[in-house]
A and B are shown apart, each in its own frame.
Chain A
Amino acid sequence: MPPVLQVRDLQVTYYTDSGRARALDGVSLDLNPGEKLGLVGESGSGKSTMALAMMRMIKPPGRIEGGKVVVGGTDLTALSEEAMRKARLSKIAYIPQGAMNSLNPVIRIGAQMMDAIRAHNPEEPRAEAEERCMRALESVDLKRSVFKMYAHELSGGMKQRVCIAIGILLRPQVIIADEPTSALDVVTQRQVMETIDRIQHELGCAIILIGHDMGLMAQFVDKVAVMYAGRLVEVSRVRDMFTDPKHPYAQALIRSLPSLENKGVFQGIPGLAPSLLRLPSGCAYHPRCQHAMEICSRAVPPLETINGSRQVACHLYVEKDLYAEKA
């Protein structure tokens, strides 16, 4: 089966007063239909930029400098502005991070669903479109009456569900959920995640779940991709990632998860996340890395497939003789 989403060498740069910030530096990624990918990393590592770049929603001073985003055979980066507008929500949908403020406070929920349908299928009869909205609401466990309500009449979890319902209105092939549960309490978080999980099964679409919460992520995704300073450093099956992370940064991330065994010992990651304006040479992680070698400050390690199923960008795992040859 061909991948439903192919990201190739995506590059995004922000031009600020204090210099150029490479927010995304050559990210490549494949996603099969029905696959669930978790995208994790510290704040500022480029997770949200990645989501916006795939939606082609990077605003000045940011720019997509290169690369391709192919969804179901269509290269989004090659589309006209108008064609891209139509592709949003119908091919690739985005469920926003701050669901608290993501709904227009002054028009009804129903109107905010209807305008989305209208923007893509203007000819669809009103009754049909309304029925479609109602079904979408029901499929995220909301009552039909929500259609006639305003955002302020809904709880945080309900608002997030409405956003999901809007995201699935046009049955997109790829859904990007940007920290969909970060503003919710633990119980609601779980319910919302279960809803997303069920919806994904029904639609058979691929999902990219962006988030900090590794624990929550572990229970819902198939694959985990770890980002650091605008690059993917490791992409592995979720079980591999949690039992045997390869990249030193991924190892540190997993180690920093609280567990009963290391109760009371808080393990953070030493050092600070680098500024995108002044990235360290070579591997951006090398100043914080315990295993840093001489080569690490010189060459950027490419994302290589190791052990057949996982990809890691680290000099530790590159065949030693590769360098021997060069030297």
Chain B
Amino acid sequence: MKPVFLIKRFLFLILVIWSAATITFFIPRLSPRNPIRERFVELARMGGFSPADLEQIVASYSQRFGLDKPLYQQYFDYMSAVFRFDFGVSLNKFPKTTVELIMEALPWTIGLLLATTIIAFVLGNLLGAVAAWPKAPNWLRATATPFVLLMGVPPVIMGVLLLFFIGFRLKLLPLGGAYSIGTVPTFTLEFVLDAARHQILPALALILGSVGGWVLSMRGMGVTIQGEDYVTFAEHKGLGPFTIFRDYYLRNALLPQATGLVLALGAVVTNGIVVESIFGLPGVGRVLDQAIRSNDFIVIYGIVLFITIAVATLMVAVELLYPLLDPRIKLD
């Protein structure tokens, strides 16, 4: 791996973060009203803050959005704050900072998204590969079809429908929340099981909503790979069907799929957040939901920046891992 390449990707990452920060900096200023100032005035009018607290909010506010300084100065301050990972103090949950709020919620979100994405990716690719594999039995190849049909249903809607059928009608699983009302988060088996039961429906919604996409792209990929000479030669060598499927067909078809996974990261996070907010799970989605409901703009912008940085960083990081998957790729 050449250092020039690393530097290039790093610069690209900086550029992405800078663009996102710039957008979140200018949009509120382009708006005919200044939502943050309005919110601030509203807060001050309602009271409930000690003068010292208010001072601190004012300090945070004028540092990031203060209109007393020239625009370029504001922009510079804002940027340096972003790159120091300082997204300001919540207007609604003072004195918590945006980063603190995100960090509290993050483990839930990461757990849910990691698990569902891995399951959907593995399941979708296996089904898609089998669907394109002429030697697989027909019933096995047909299992992929229902997932493809579900593709047009966004995960949120899948969530609502699952809530209705499994949660409401059959009463098998809870209707929302992270754990039953009245329980206190502890590390007991009972609590963990309770929390897990609450995660099943949202997880299912996210999985069912995204498996079809992987099935479809993998099936297309598989058809192409089958025509490759090395698959034919593997048969000439007298290899068993399982070895050919795993080492010659799947290994090669998976490479473009890994790229697809990187490109889908944005959608994964987006779907995750919306599903979290619909199910009332204590993840970043709910923080965002509450921020939207209470006009907590600093937190809204903070979450947007945070997620953008996270997604862009992940993309570049996964890209650096490609050579492990494909020996042909040399990063330069």
| A–B touching in complex (CB under 8 Å) | yes
Q: Give complex CA distance A86, B240 in Å.
A: 9
Chain A residues with CB below 8 A from B145, complex form: none
Residues facing A in B50-92 (CB within 8 A) are none
Chain A, residue nearest B236 (CB): A94
Q: Which residues of B contact A (CB under 8 A)?
A: 228-230, 232-240, 243, 247-248, 251-252, 255, 325-328
A150 contact set on B, CB distance < 8 A: 327-328
Closest to B239 in A: A119
What mask results when residues 10 to 43 of chain A are scored 1 for a CB within 8 Å of chain B, else 0? 0000000000000000000000000000000000
Residues of A64-106 contacting chain B, CB below 8 A: 85-90, 93-94, 96-98, 100-106
Are A105's CB and B252's CB within 8 A? yes
Q: Are A102 and B229 in contact (CB under 8 A)?
A: yes
Q: Are B232 and A96 in contact (CB under 8 A)?
A: yes
Contact A104 B328 (CB under 8 A): no
**Cβ-defined contact, B230 with A115, below 8 A:** no
Do A89 and B328 have beta carbons less than 8 Å apart?
no
In the complex, chain B residues whose CB is within 8 Å of the CB of A55 = 236
Q: Are B328 and A105 interface neighbours, CB within 8 A?
A: yes
Q: How many CB-defined contacts (below 8 Å) exist between A and B?
A: 77
The yes or no answer to A107 lying at the interface (CB within 8 A) is yes
Q: Is residue A152 within 8 Å, beta carbon to beta carbon, of the partner chain?
A: yes
Instruction: Decide if A166 is an interface residue (CB 8 Å cutoff).
Output: yes
- Whether the pair A105, B327 counts as a contact (CB closer than 8 A) is yes
Contacts of A106 in B (CB 8 A): 251-252, 255, 325-328
Q: Do B237 and A101 have beta carbons less than 8 Å apart?
A: no
**How many residues from A make CB contacts under 8 Å with B?**
31
Q: Which residues of A contact B (CB under 8 A)?
A: 55, 57, 85-90, 93-94, 96-98, 100-107, 111, 115-116, 118-120, 150, 152, 163, 166
Are B235 and A57 interface neighbours, CB within 8 A? yes
Nearest 10 pairs of A and B residues by beta carbon: A88-B238, A101-B229, A94-B236, A102-B233, A89-B238, A116-B237, A102-B229, A150-B327, A104-B230, A119-B239
Residues in chain A near residue B238, CB distance under 8 A: 85-90, 116, 119-120
Q: Is the CB of B237 within 8 A of A104?
A: no
User: A96 to B247, Cβ gap below 8 A?
Assistant: no
With A115-B247, A150-B327, A152-B328 known as contacts, the answer to whether A103 contacts B230 (CB < 8 A) is: yes
**Most chain A CB atoms below 10 A, which of B236, B251, B328:** B236
> Would B328 and A163 count as touching, CB distance under 8 A?
no
Complex interface: chain B residues within 8 A of A119 (CB): 237-240, 243
Q: Given the known inter-chain contacts A101-B228, A106-B252, A106-B327, please indicate yes or no for A163 contacting B247, CB distance below 8 A.
A: no
Closest chain A CB from B259 CB (angstroms): 14
CB nearest to A103 among chain B residues: B230
Q: Report Cα–Cα, A152/B327, bound state, in Å.
A: 8
Known A-B contacts A115-B247, A150-B328; A163 and B233 likewise in contact (beta carbons under 8 Å)? yes
Closest to A104 in B: B230
Interface centre among A55, A103, A104 (most CB of B within 10 A): A104
CA distance A116 to B230 in the complex (A): 13
- Chain B residues closer than 8 Å to A152, beta-carbon distance: 327-328
Looking across the interface, which residue of chain B has its beta carbon closest to that of A163? B233
16 residue pairs bridging A and B, Cβ less than 8 Å apart: A57-B235, A87-B238, A98-B229, A101-B230, A103-B233, A104-B247, A104-B251, A105-B327, A106-B328, A107-B247, A111-B247, A115-B237, A116-B239, A119-B240, A119-B243, A163-B233
Known: A106-B327, A152-B327, A152-B328. A166 touches B230 (CB 8 A): no
B234 surroundings in chain A (CB, below 8 A)? 104
Residues of B within 8 A of A118 (CB): 243
The docked-state distance in angstroms from the alpha carbon of A94 to that of B326 is: 27
Q: How far is the CB of B230 from chain A (nearest CB, A)?
A: 5
Distance of A161 Cα from B247 Cα, bound (Å): 22
With A106-B251, A106-B255, A150-B328: A96-B237 Cβ-Cβ less than 8 Å: no
Q: Enumerate chain A residues within 8 angstroms of B252, measured Cβ to Cβ.
A: 104-106
> Which of B236, B240, B243 is A57 in contact with, Cβ under 8 Å?
B236
Q: Which of A57, A102, A163 has the most CB of B within 10 A?
A: A102
Closest to B248 in A: A104
State A303–B236 Cα separation when bound (angstroms): 30
- In the assembled complex, the CB of B233 is this many whole angstroms from the nearest CB of chain A, namely 4
Question: Is the pair B236, A88 in contact by a Cβ cutoff of 8 Å?
Answer: yes
A89 to B247 Cα, complex, angstroms: 19
Q: Is there an interface contact between B255 and A89, defined as CB atoms closer than 8 Å?
A: no
Minimum C-beta distance from A214 to chain B (A): 25
**B236: which A residues are within 8 A, CB to CB?**
55, 57, 88-89, 93-94, 96
B240 contacts A102, C-beta separation under 8 Å: no
Give bound CA distance, A90 to B239, whole Å: 11
